[in-house]
Amino acid sequence: MQELLCTFVHKKGSRNEVKIKMTINTTKTVRDLALEMPRAATVFEDLRIDYCCGGGRSLSEACAAAGVSVQDVMRSLEQAEQTREEIEDWQSKRLSELTSYIIDNHHVFTREELRRSSDMILKVCSAHARNHPELLRIQSMFIGLAGELTAHMLKEENVLFPYITALEEATLSGDPRPIPFFGTVRNPVRMMMMEHDTAAEVLRAIRAASLDFAVPPDACASYRALYQTLETLERDLHRHIHLENNILFPRAVEMETAIATLQPSR
Ligand SMILES: [Fe+2]
Ligand SMILES: [Fe+2]
């Protein structure tokens, strides 16, 4: 076990500026660090450290898997914490605010980028697949991913998120709790998390097939734009999955357990 002492500056430049010395235990999971320090997600993304589906690994294990040193990560975390940009702390917000945020930002963005990428990938394949056959594999993986993500987001928007909102309303008002047709929130949560794992796996395979989105010398502007769009989609999806897997779902399970204890079914 290794412990590193870091100094973080919160609200730099403001009257409320405060310096915090924090000891970070490198056996702590990446998921817990991303929850304690919301800016850590950006650092992990930049360093290709998996903090959403593979967030259960310790910081030292995750660094070893990504091929970066723990010291470099800590330095980046310190720098990130010194920025002035405010980051939303979703741990303390209402779940209905979080689901609205996810839909209005991540779902809207994902649908838009999937649509743009579908058009681009057709164009790029017809011009470049002869010299770059990996594009056809990327296209096939992308089509599968787009279909799965579209269905996944609809299930969240039509079934899971409305139930979580109703659960929160009942918790706050003391009204009778909703009784879902799926038994318990753990069931759709388990399914959504499995689908997140699958999506993350497909994105890893697309990244590998494109050699980390390396644009070949003969690529046209559309080829370049396609790889940039796929990389942006991957980055946003990691953040999106982190908000669901690591914040929304555990809080919904906890809330359901608490209300079911207060209102046992008859
Ligand atoms: Fe989602
Ligand atoms: Fe999801």
Which ligand is nearest the CA of 198, by number? 2
Q: What is the mean pLDDT of each run of 10 residues along the chain (266 residues)?
A: 58 58 76 82 85 86 89 82 72 95 96 92 93 96 97 98 98 95 97 97 96 92 93 94 96 96 82
What's the CA-to-centroid distance between 240 and ligand 1, angstroms? 6
**Nearest to residue 73, comparing CAs of 4, 20, 19?**
4
Task: Classify the C-alpha dihedral 224-208-46-105 as positive or negative.
Answer: positive
Residue 123 lies in a domain: yes
- The set of residues, in sequence order, having a beta carbon less than 8 Å from that of 211 and lying 6+ positions away, is none
pLDDT score recorded for residue 18 = 56
pTM over 0.95: no
- 50: CATH: 1.10.3910.10
- Final residue of a structural domain among 81, 114, 143: 81
Distances (CA, A) of 27 to 24, 46, 119, 255: 9, 21, 44, 28
pLDDT score recorded for residue 28 = 85
What's the CA-to-centroid distance between 103 and ligand 1, angstroms? 7
In the structure, ligand 2 is a single-atom ion and the residues with CB under 5 Å from it are 192, 244
What's the CA-to-centroid distance between 156 and ligand 2, angstroms? 7
What's the CA-to-centroid distance between 244 and ligand 2, angstroms? 6
The CA-to-CA distance between both ends of the chain, in Å, stands at 49
Which ligand is nearest the CA of 189, by number? 2
Residue 194: domain span: 95-262
Residue 87 lies in a domain: no
C-beta neighbour count of 24 within 10 angstroms: 19
Which ligand is nearest the CA of 103, by number? 1
Question: What is the 3-state composition of the chain as percent helix, strand, coil, each rounded to the nearest 5?
Answer: 65, 5, 30
Buried b (16+ CB within 10 A) or exposed e, 173-199: eeeebeebeeeebeebbeebeebbebb
What's the CA-to-centroid distance between 166 and ligand 2, angstroms? 19
Same domain membership, residue 246 and residue 209: yes
What's the CA-to-centroid distance between 8 and ligand 2, angstroms? 32
